[in-house]
Amino acid sequence: MSTHSQVSSKAAARAYLAPHTIRVRRQQAIAKGVIWAAAGVTILTLVLIVGYILFNGFYTRKVQDFPVTPYVEERVPIAEDGTTMSIVVERSMRIRDITFPKLEEIYTGRLPFLGYLTTQNRQTTAVVYDGDGFAAKAEAFVLSEGRTFDFYGDDVTYAGSAEEIQSILAENDGTIALVPSEMAEGLRHGKVIGLLQSTVIVNPEILQLQGGRRLDHLKLGQVADLISGAAPAWSDVGGPGIVVQEQDLQNNIPGVYDPLPAVPVVPANPDALWAYFDDVYDDASDAPIRENAVTADGLDEYINTVMETPGAIGIIRTKEAMDRDLPILQVERITHWLNLRPQLLFHAPSRAGAVGGLSYIIINTLAMVLFVIVIATPIGVAAAIYLIEYSKQGRLVYLLRLGTDTLAGIPSIIFGLFGMVFFAQFLGFKTGLISGTLTLTLMILPTVIRTSEEALKSVPRDIRDGSLALGATKLQTIFRVVLPAASPGILTGVILGIGRAVGETAAILYTLGSNLALLHSINSPMRVLSVHLYMLIRENVSLPNAFAAATILVVIVFLVNYTTTRLIGRLNRMAGQ
Amino acid sequence: MKFRKQFERTVETLFFVSALASILSVIFITLFILIEGLPLFFHSATDYPPPTFFEFFFGTEWFPTDTPPKYGIMPFIVGSLFVTAGALVLAVPIGIAVGVFIAEIARGRAQKILRSATEILAGIPSVVYGFFGVMMIGFFLQNFDDPIVNYNAFSASVILAVMTLPTIINITEVSIRSVPREFADGSFAIGSTHWQTIIRVLIPAARSGIITGVILGMGRAIGETMAVLMVAGNQPTIPTEGFRSRVRTLTMAVVNDMGYAADDHRVALFTTAIVLFAFILILNLVTQIITRRSSIKVQ
């Protein structure tokens, strides 16, 4: 039989289909399409939620405005005689560069907690090398004229030798040191970080409010565009124009503006400032400056030119801009880093979870899970044994099943209230581990009971009869024969229970507490992953850490799903044999 | 031998006591919530008279810390029912469709993937759903003018729909599967197509199971706390702007104020919890009745 004849007979059959049949088939096709779409929506929702959480859990991208451009200097010239300074920090610190304003804060004693820069739990230890007159040069570079670090208190340690700095680096994990560049490379326990100290200054008019808008920051590429002429006018980057007609809100007259050209101001001598200009371009070697650029000689004239030329834009050192209170245009900077890394799991959280890791939280969660399993498993399995092995079907069993069903349907917040009133207050356990785990035990009991019941039911009758026939008592039969055979099913129930307990929040908010401390006694209030996640979002403490916590929770869900599927598969295979 | 028997008896009693644990818990929970919540109507800590039943249930103003305090939980009841209805409108069609898909249409890998997807959706903690909701709202607020996805009833309904979906899918699938094969065979034998069999035979036969699933999903939606708390806007007034209105549900009212509430305010929260509990018990009772009546048993 050739395919040809089959095709033609099909075609012939279609030709004789009744209109009704065609309609039915079309309806069927549409209906099946809708159903496939619904299935697609379900999968898509899951992928979207899980993908979003996991992606952000492992990778963090942050867009922030800084008063400096991202031009990094590792060897900073600090004096006329060619002395260069490097900034060295303790090696494990999560920081690659530091802005000049932050450096100034540290060396004037205004940033005692370095963790806000590194998201680690570190107290600042500021050090400066004091030899060959280096400290004086560093002071002149960082502070206003004539000041010393001592002027702001004794926060800064003067170290006389490389060995001394090395020992401070080894002892304090929040050490930051200003040293001559020649010394920086040789310091053990330390690493060199860059300094960001070039700032975009503009003519004051640029930052004025116009038509209800104000230019508050530039993207990095926009700085280059303004200087090279790719963005000829300020309005191209969201800036102001030359007023032709003022906006009149009362009479509803829109403002009319002519384009205000951007005028780069460049130094006459290609000195250090040139480097800043070069760096805002992608191609640093041959940076074009637009034709209408104005040149200025010397710092004072440079600044004056920027302040007086309409539409002027220039780049100078942050310190000079801040000292003279010049109009600074912030520049956007994108940073990204690996979020959920081993350190996050092993370091202690601090400052409400804003810095440090999740170690306490994870240990607390494990302790809670352990307690819940230890309490819930025996009770749940015993209940299932009674229901399956002992009870005769009847009113009592119906009532017991009804109890389990009802318990399964009670919302977690009710469990939370009950736990608070009964365990914490009435029984006097206070808010803490015991109250929390007992509340959770009640919550997961139905899951454990039901799954254990199913597991016990699936054990064939013959096995029991065989055991009994050999002279074993009922109890011996249950413990030596039935329970081992049903153990994968029971384990499934316990794992499902763990999954539910780990994710629960409302029931433990007021029974387990939310103290950000490691559990130290059986009664101590403590915070677990789910509550930590909630607190981090509610108080807007740290989004990356919230994503990390959510990621761990999602991973637990996957683990629970994977193991239970495997266990059930094993159980089915056993039953099949 | 006698000792042995006595031991067996003791262990059996232990098993029995364990079996009693769940029903005892239900009784204790009911009892303690009632004890904590009912005094609101009979005793007042302030000079003002305690609220009447009517004032409590139908009052539209919730100012528990004012003088005189006002305890009207109508906004919360309406809020709860509103977001739950919204969630069901979204979740029921999709849930039933997917349940039918897994039970009847999908084969092999598609079936496996969807079943795991449903289980994982059911396993994701509500606080993670809430977190996701918050991030989505942030995204929409940043990129659109006055988006519908805001801290309001719409977002809460969508999140709740995703959370109730697994319940509805699962129970639909199970109840369609438990329809005896003869029904479908008979339908095929008289010349119906697969689709006609599904729509005219299988779904009607599995009706009671599907309804049970919807009611269970409803119970989950009404009782859900954390996810709703994070996205619903938390405004204790009767919703007037449809899905754009910020709402506070019964559960949100309880968890939101419990941290600081004292005296009558605290009691009123327990009274609110009684109302929530009553809702859930009624839903449970309905499912019990449906399951007992139906010829096809659903587990």
Write the pLDDT tens digit of every residue in A252-305: 888 888 888 888 888 776 655 556 666 655 444 455 677 788 888 888 888 899
Q: For residue A442, with 0-12 CB atoms within 10 Å meaning exposed, 13-18 middle and 19 or more buried, which class applies?
A: buried
- Of the two residues B169 and A250, the one the predictor is more confident about is B169
Lowest mean per-residue pLDDT among A80-84, A136-140, A403-407: A80-84
Range of the domain at B83: 70-293
Q: Which pair of tokens denotes residue A52?
A: 């979003």
Q: Using DSSP bridges, classify how beta strands A97-99 and A190-196 pair: parallel, antiparallel or unpaired.
A: parallel
pLDDT at A276: 64
Tally of CA atoms within 13 A in the half-sphere of A361 that contains its CB: 31
Contact A418 B20 (CB under 8 A): no
Closest-CA residue to A446 (of A434, A458, A435, A454): A454
Q: Which pair of tokens denotes residue B19?
A: 């079996």
Lowest mean per-residue pLDDT among A331-340, A372-381, A417-426: A331-340
Q: Is the pLDDT of residue A511 over 50?
A: yes
pLDDT at A284: 42
pLDDT at B1: 65
User: What is the C-alpha to C-alpha distance for residues A497 and A508, in angstroms, rounded to an integer?
Assistant: 15
Residues ≥6 apart with Cβ < 8 Å to A323: A144
Per-residue DSSP letter, A152: G
Q: For A199-218, what is each residue's pLDDT tens digit?
A: 899 999 888 888 778 888 88
Say how many C-beta atoms besides its own lie within 10 A of residue A464's C-beta: 18
Nearest-CA distance from A529 to chain B in Å? 10
In A206-298, which ranges are continuous DSSP H helix? 220-228, 272-279
> Do A72-196 and A199-337 fold alike per CATH?
yes
Q: Which pair of tokens denotes residue B193?
A: 């197509």
User: What is the C-alpha to C-alpha distance for residues B230 and B246, in angstroms, rounded to an integer?
Assistant: 12
Q: For A154-167, what is each residue's pLDDT tens digit?
A: 888 899 889 999 99
Q: Where are the domains of chain A?
A: 72-196, 199-337, 344-576
User: What is the C-alpha to C-alpha distance for residues B119 and A530, in angstroms, rounded to an integer?
Assistant: 19
User: What is the C-alpha to C-alpha distance for residues A466 and A166, in angstroms, rounded to an integer?
Assistant: 76
Q: Is the ipTM of this complex over 0.85?
A: yes
Q: Give φ, ψ of A441 to 5 degrees.
A: -55, -45
Mean pLDDT across B57-64: 91
pLDDT at B226: 94
User: What is the C-alpha to C-alpha distance for residues B176 and B106, in angstroms, rounded to an integer?
Assistant: 13
Interface of B with A in 120-159 (CB under 8 A): 120-121, 123-132, 134-135
Closest-CA residue to B217 (of B93, B91, B75, B32): B91
Q: Is the pLDDT of residue B55 over 50?
A: yes
Q: Which pair of tokens denotes residue B182?
A: 């003869």
- Of the two residues B141 and A248, the one the predictor is more confident about is B141
User: What is the C-alpha to C-alpha distance for residues A393 and A542, in angstroms, rounded to an integer?
Assistant: 55
Q: For A306-342, what is each residue's pLDDT tens digit?
A: 999 888 988 888 888 888 899 999 998 888 888 888 8
% residues pLDDT > 70 (chain A): 93
Give the one of B18, B21, B32 whose C-beta lies nearest to A418's C-beta. Answer: B32
pLDDT at A188: 87
Q: Using DSSP bridges, classify how beta strands A355-356 and A256-258 pair: parallel, antiparallel or unpaired.
A: unpaired
Mean pLDDT across B225-249: 92
Give the one of A24, A38, A406 whose C-beta lies nearest to B284's C-beta. Answer: A406
Of the pLDDT bands very low, low, confident and very high (cuts 50, 70, 90), residue A523 is confident
Determine which of B23, B84, B203 to mutate to test the interface with A (most A C-beta atoms within 10 Å): B23
% residues pLDDT > 90 (chain A): 39
CATH architecture of A199-337: 3-Layer(aba) Sandwich (3.40)
* Domain A72-196 sits in CATH 1.20.910.10: no
Of the pLDDT bands very low, low, confident and very high (cuts 50, 70, 90), residue B173 is very high
Asked if A200 contacts A326 with a C-beta cutoff of 8 angstroms, the reply is no
The answer to whether position B199 is within a domain reads yes
CATH class of A344-576: mainly alpha
Contact B33/A at CB under 8 A: yes
The answer to whether position B49 is within a domain reads no
Contact A413 B273 (CB under 8 A): yes
Expressed in percent and rounded to 5, the helix, strand and coil fractions of chain A are: 55, 15, 30
Query: Best-predicted range by mean pLDDT among A41-45, A118-122, A336-340, A399-403?
Result: A41-45
Interface of A with B in 35-54 (CB under 8 A): 35-36, 38-39, 41-43, 45-46, 49-50, 52-53
Q: Return the axis-axis angle of helices A529-538 and A543-576, rounded to nearest 10°.
A: 150
Of the pLDDT bands very low, low, confident and very high (cuts 50, 70, 90), residue A12 is low
Give the one of B15, B119, B169 whose C-beta lies nearest to A561's C-beta. Answer: B119
Q: Is the pLDDT of residue A41 over 70?
A: yes
**Average pLDDT of every residue of chain A:** 87
pLDDT at A2: 45
Q: Using DSSP bridges, classify how beta strands A217-218 and A328-338 pair: parallel, antiparallel or unpaired.
A: parallel
Interface of B with A in 159-198 (CB under 8 A): 162, 165, 169, 193-196
Asked if A206 contacts A215 with a C-beta cutoff of 8 angstroms, the reply is yes
Q: For B79-117, what is each residue's pLDDT tens digit?
A: 999 999 999 999 999 999 999 999 988 888 989 999 999
Contact A385 B259 (CB under 8 A): no
User: What is the C-alpha to C-alpha distance for residues A438 and A499, in angstroms, rounded to an integer?
Assistant: 16
pLDDT at B14: 93
The answer to whether position B179 is within a domain reads yes
User: What is the C-alpha to C-alpha distance for residues A143 and B125, in angstroms, rounded to an integer?
Assistant: 52
Domains identified in chain B, total number:
1
The answer to whether position B101 is within a domain reads yes
pLDDT at B165: 95
Asked if B121 contacts B170 with a C-beta cutoff of 8 angstroms, the reply is no
- The dihedral of CA B195, B204, B287, B224: what is its sign? positive
User: What is the C-alpha to C-alpha distance for residues A68 and A202, in angstroms, rounded to an integer?
Assistant: 13
Residues ≥6 apart with Cβ < 8 Å to B165: A42, A45, B91, B94, B95, B98, B118, B121, B217
pLDDT at A212: 77
Mean pLDDT across B252-278: 92
User: What is the C-alpha to C-alpha distance for residues B293 and B299, in angstroms, rounded to an integer?
Assistant: 14
Q: Using DSSP bridges, classify how beta strands B62-63 and A59-66 pair: parallel, antiparallel or unpaired.
A: unpaired
- Of the two residues A381 and B4, the one the predictor is more confident about is A381
Mean pLDDT across A388-416: 89
Q: What is the CA radius of gyration of chain A?
A: 35
Per-residue DSSP letter, A335: E
User: What is the C-alpha to C-alpha distance for residues A411 and B216, in angstroms, rounded to an integer?
Assistant: 12
- Residue A310, preceding peptide bond in cis (omega within 30° of 0): no
**Average pLDDT of every residue of chain B:** 91
Closest-CA residue to A228 (of A277, A299, A296, A285): A277
pLDDT at A229: 80
Q: Which pair of tokens denotes residue A491?
A: 């384990």
Give the one of A399, A474, A561 whose C-beta lies nearest to B116's C-beta. Answer: A561
Q: For residue B252, with 0-12 CB atoms within 10 Å meaning exposed, 13-18 middle and 19 or more buried, which class applies?
A: buried
Asked if B219 contacts B280 with a C-beta cutoff of 8 angstroms, the reply is yes
